Amino acid sequence: MHQNARLSIPISTLLYAGLLCSCASADQSQPIAITEDRVNLTGAEFLPEFISKSPERRIAARLYMLGVLDSTEGKVWCSYDQLKTVTINDFVFEYLKKQSAEKLKLRASDLIQEALHNSFPCKDTK
């Protein structure tokens, strides 16, 4: 690479990377937000667990989300049979990262349902 050449990285990519680093770096110093007895988990508590570097934290968050998916599919959102879990994870993450700090104070399950409903609404069968 020429010494005067610059690496061109979009600002959105840098901001996204910063968000991931800041959420993931909180892993070890914070208590685990998702436990078997935990209720009323907020979006702000769920999001860092969902993207954590810790496999245990990520798995707990994904299992939490799977419970929301299982209990709301066909009612709040549709098309599970046409989607991959990775796709759903991406849509939920993209939705949550766009929310304000104030909105992330709401229950994580409600925010996940909102993300799914917006991305995969059920077709009117009338």
- Residue type for position 45: E
Tokens of 16: 């996204």
Domain range summary for the chain, segments of one domain joined by +: 11-119
Q: Is the confidence at residue 18, as pLDDT, over 60?
A: no
Tokens of 38: 């935990």
Q: What is the DSSP letter of 30?
A: S
Q: What is the CATH number of domain 11-119?
A: 1.10.890.40
pLDDT for res 108: 98
Separation of alpha carbons 109 and 68, rounded Å: 6
pLDDT for res 12: 46
pLDDT for res 21: 47
Q: Is the confidence at residue 68, as pLDDT, over 70?
A: yes
- CB–CB of 113/77 below 8 Å? yes
pLDDT for res 31: 67
pLDDT for res 28: 53
Separation of alpha carbons 115 and 109, rounded Å: 10
**Residue the block writes with tokens 């959102």:** 77
Question: What's the predicted TM-score (pTM) here?
Answer: 0.71
67 versus 31: the higher-pLDDT residue is 67
Over residues 92-106, the pLDDT tens digits come to: 999 999 999 999 999
Grade residue 9 by pLDDT with cuts at 50, 70 and 90.
low
